[in-house]
Structure 1
Amino acid sequence: MLISDAVRRIPAHLQSAGVDLVDLARFERAVDRCGDSLAFRYFTAHERRIAKEWATEERSAAEVLAHFFGVKESVVKLMGGLPAAGRLADISVAVPDGGWGSEHWTVHLSGPLAPWSRSDHGIVGASARLEDGLALAWAAAPSEGGAP
């Protein structure tokens, strides 16, 4: 996918946004090196299960996790940083029934991040594989009345 195609998926009316690039091969090597400890540290049980379900011959479970990681990093950027007690596992990427190709993925915040999400920031995000082995991930908090 080209960057211009990926950017068209971002909502037009934004209160805040974050973008991240993930080197997919580097992330896969990190997963291979660290194994389950990395997955348990950064991802929810649901995300780990989805990664296994979405793995194909062309896309490994580690690549799916890399896309989720990019969205989580994008959320940290749109929030202006991660609170001291916050963890990436407090950011949960919930992909709709439409699956991988869905236009927006819903993001849920828990733990120390939950108060931010209760202030009515409907956070959405997505990630796309670019032609050069990178994933372009984004997260956005649409402005009031600016539905995703």
Structure 2
Amino acid sequence: MAADPTSELIQHLRRPDLSILGNAIRSLPPAQWQTRMFFMGVADKELKHHTNESFPRTLRKTQNTHPVFVLRQGTTGHQLCPCSSKGNLRKHRYITKGCQLDMTSQVMDRNSFLIEQYVFILPLDHCFQKRPFFFGRVPDCCIRDQRDMWT
């Protein structure tokens, strides 16, 4: 059975090929987010709200944001987790320092730990107080998991 041309067109319009824009992409609405995208600058206050008040806010006055990583994209919302430069190889997967990200060619300047105990769903129509900065899409090969090496 042939695919419905209308639904194919809608899917194409909803998920354009963002790689052709490269470094021109600075921000994207959540409806355009894809799995393994990395965004910077989400306010700790918003992360705390989305994680039912469980995400610990940073105590430093100069740093009150964290990056987020798209674990899974969905039709009504995406599954995200906050990231942190502080983490534990025994407890967290991480994005490696030196990783060149897809779509933007940005390079990770430090390991970024996926803090998956604070996973939350972000609705596609969500508006942030300040739109997060799109840093790039993380290649699979840059996500490391050494948790089972310590057992």
TM-score, structure 2 length as denominator? 0.29
Bigger relative contact order (CA 8 A; separation at least 6): 1
TM-score, structure 1 length as denominator? 0.29
Asked which structure has the greater CA Rg, the reply is 2
